[in-house]
Chains A and B, each alone.
Chain A
Amino acid sequence: RKEVEQDPGPFNVPEGATVAFNCTYSNSASQSFFWYRQDCRKEPKLLMSVYSSGNEDGRFTAQLNRASQYISLLIRDSKLSDSATYLCVVYLSGRRALTFGSGTRLQVQP
């Protein structure tokens, strides 16, 4: 089983749509959680951290469910510029490294 699993997509949505991505992780001792965004032929960039109580940053909302080992990202009012691959990322202090999911591709269409 992969340490971090994501649906690869692609998710094709019209502008203005709401879209949700899910991610599951296998190690219950994981401590920190992130969503990164990677544009085509570019480096990954931090989109937002994910906190236990859930957190929001503008149109983006992240949720964490430790009991189910599940992380989600909700994007409201999708823009063309949201088209990218969204990487679910988990940190385990014992391993001292981030573990990346393989990413979910989003294509927002006009």
Chain B
Amino acid sequence: DTAVSQTPKYLVTQMGNDKSIKCEQNLGHDTMYWYKQDSKKFLKIMFSYNNKELIINETVPNRFSPKSPDKAHLNLHINSLELGDSAVYFCASSLTGGTSFRNYQETQYFGPGTRLLVL
């Protein structure tokens, strides 16, 4: 039973296109995240949502727009794709997302990743 799922797993597209990645978690967590892992394997947070409210919005081009229809879903829409957007995008969720000092509540569970290649 998948805890955090993402679709699609692979995405190959042309520069200038618009694409979306979907994420769902069935853990009952309040907080969801999007991370980007570049070719150097560095994992960097992009956004987080707590109960459908945007909490973190790192320095990310505004071509990237997250949408959270409910607390179990966090989608990522990317407009006008560029070559530099090629990376692996991971969705994650955690129980509380920043309101607790307890390690187990801040533990994040990751989806399998979406490998995006922009040609």
| A interface, CB within 8 angstroms of B | 31-34, 38, 42-46, 49, 51, 85, 87, 91, 93, 95-100, 102-103
Contact = CB atoms under 8 A, between A and B. Distances in A.
Contact of A34 (B43, B55, B107): B107
A32 B111 contact: no
Given A98-B106, A98-B108, A87 B43 contact: yes
B46 to A, nearest CB: 10
Most buried by A among B44, B102, B108: B108
Given A31-B101, A32-B106, A98 B45 contact: yes
6 contacts: A49-B103, A51-B103, A93-B98, A96-B48, A97-B45, A98-B45
B107 A97 contact: no
Given A45-B110, A46-B107, A98-B106, 5 more contacts: A32-B103, A38-B41, A42-B113, A44-B110, A87-B43
A34 B103 CA distance: 8
B98 A100 contact: no
Interface in B73-109: 90, 97-99, 101-104, 106-109
B41 A97 contact: no
A99 B108 CA distance: 12
A96 B32 CA distance: 12
Contacts of A99: 45
Contacts of B55: 96
B111 A43 contact: yes
Contacts of A100: 42-44
